[in-house]
């Protein structure tokens, strides 16, 4: 498989964009030879000793998922936005069956080593939240806190089936407006209050412009391969991984319209850990973009609880 062309956001970089961007690109190699990408936001000097925050996107998403949130978080501490293999500027996997959460955990380890990061907090949307829980289980004592965005140890079968139905499918569109309209038709029930400008913003986060001038989703379609072979996720007990978060600050965000994280499961999560807090984001499904006022306020309160060193 081939690596991505390095384009900011999947469309040509203007001189203004290049000058005003507030992150640096970092590339590293996985154990199996896949070149991976992250955006690194330095954060304030006075917070240099504080555990940094790793932002990890959802299944079909990339670093642009955090293009608004990451600069906000970086006002308080160093922020690293991960781009999982097969997404954005990270290369495609040689073996599509490595598109699984345990591999993503293993991919992050050399990045932490290269950047000299021992302890860290995470903000994970959907898949990124699953990776956070697995990190807690496999990296004892290293997580200083976690935001789990519309995900947990119990996932709704109907929502998982919906994701399986569309992931890896779809062709190309001739313009951004065409792509936004197609994306809205697919996801209208998730963001029922969105207008065309909202859909354009979200489409430019999730799609890219090809050299041929077509608009396509910005991920390797083979990320769907493990999902097609998956059995019943309800048979996988993720509660031990969730409980491994222990007494660190945990923020559980749930889209009020979510078909992935049920309200009862979210409440059960909040009750299971001593420092877990549940916040429901109104008017959206799976998953909140984290640009919503309710989500942003909850994340600010969570950051205030993180250790300073």
Q: Domain holding 86: CATH number?
A: 3.40.50.1820
Q: Which helix (DSSP H) or strand (DSSP E) does residue 149 occupy?
A: strand 143-149
Question: Helix (H, G, I), strand (E, B), or coil: what is residue 250?
Answer: strand
Q: Examine residue 185 and state whether it is found in any structural domain, yes or no.
A: no
Summarised one tens digit per residue, pLDDT across range 80-120 is 999 999 999 999 999 999 999 999 999 999 999 999 999 99
C-beta separation of 88 from 209 below 8 A? no
Q: How far apart are CA 288 and CA 77, in angstroms?
A: 23
Q: Examine residue 214 and state whether it is found in any structural domain, yes or no.
A: no
Q: How far apart are CA 50 and CA 119, in angstroms?
A: 9
Q: What's the pLDDT band for 231 if we cut at 50, 70, 90?
A: low
Range of the domain at 123: 8-158+235-305
| Statement: residue 16 has pLDDT above 50 | no
User: Which of 156, 148, 202 lies closest to 179, judged by CA?
Assistant: 202
Q: Examine residue 13 and state whether it is found in any structural domain, yes or no.
A: yes
Q: Examine residue 62 and state whether it is found in any structural domain, yes or no.
A: yes
Q: How far apart are CA 134 and CA 50, in angstroms?
A: 22
| Statement: residue 179 has pLDDT above 80 | yes
Q: What is the mean pLDDT of the chain?
A: 92
| Statement: residue 230 has pLDDT above 60 | no
Helices assigned H by DSSP within the chain: 15-20, 69-73, 101-115, 127-138, 157-166, 176-187, 196-206, 225-229, 239-243, 263-272, 293-305
Tokens of 86: 């097969």
Q: Examine residue 286 and state whether it is found in any structural domain, yes or no.
A: yes
- Please state the domain count of the chain: 1
Q: Examine residue 247 and state whether it is found in any structural domain, yes or no.
A: yes
Q: How far apart are CA 113 and CA 129, in angstroms?
A: 21
User: For residues 7 and 130, which has the higher predicted lDDT (pLDDT)?
Assistant: 130
Q: For residue 302, report the phi and psi dihedrals to the nearest 5 degrees.
A: -65, -45
Q: Examine residue 114 and state whether it is found in any structural domain, yes or no.
A: yes
pTM value is: 0.92
List CB contacts of 89: < 8 A, sequence separation 6 or more: 3, 4, 6, 25, 27, 37, 62, 63, 83
Q: Examine residue 240 and state whether it is found in any structural domain, yes or no.
A: yes
Question: Helix (H, G, I), strand (E, B), or coil: what is residue 110?
Answer: helix
State what percent of residues in the chain have pLDDT above 90. Answer: 88
């Amino acid at each position: 498989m081939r690596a991505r062309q390095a384009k900011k956001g999947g469309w040509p970089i203007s001189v203004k964009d290049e000058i005003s961007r507030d992150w640096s690109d970092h590339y590293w190699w996985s154990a199996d030879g896949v070149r991976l990408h992250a955006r690194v936001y330095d954060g304030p000097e006075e917070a240099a000793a504080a555990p940094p925050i790793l932002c990890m996107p959802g299944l079909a998403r990339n670093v642009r998922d955090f293009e608004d949130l990451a600069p906000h978080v970086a006002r308080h501490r160093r922020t690293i936005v991960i781009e999982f293999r097969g997404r954005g500027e990270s290369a495609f996997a040689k073996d599509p069956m490595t598109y699984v959460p345990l591999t993503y955990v293993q991919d992050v380890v050399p990045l932490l080593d290269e950047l000299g990061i021992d302890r860290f907090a995470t903000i994970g949307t959907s898949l990124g939240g699953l990776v956070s829980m697995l990190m807690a289980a496999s990296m004892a004592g290293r997580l200083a806190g976690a935001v789990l965005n519309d995900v947990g140890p119990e996932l709704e079968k109907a929502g998982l089936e919906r994701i399986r139905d569309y992931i890896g499918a779809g062709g190309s569109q001739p313009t951004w407006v065409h792509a936004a309209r197609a994306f809205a038709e697919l996801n209208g029930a998730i963001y029922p209050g969105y207008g065309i400008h909202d859909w354009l913003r979200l489409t430019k986060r999730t799609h890219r412009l090809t050299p041929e001038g077509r608009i396509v989703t910005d991920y390797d379609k083979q990320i769907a391969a493990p999902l097609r072979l998956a059995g019943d996720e309800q048979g996988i007990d993720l509660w031990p991984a969730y409980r491994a978060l222990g007494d660190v600050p945990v923020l559980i965000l749930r889209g009020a319209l979510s078909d992935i994280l049920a309200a009862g499961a979210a409440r059960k999560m909040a009750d299971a850990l001593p420092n877990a807090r549940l916040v429901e984001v109104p008017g959206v499904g799976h998953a909140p973009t984290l640009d919503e006022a309710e989500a942003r306020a909850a994340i600010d309160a969570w950051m205030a609880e993180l250790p300073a060193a």
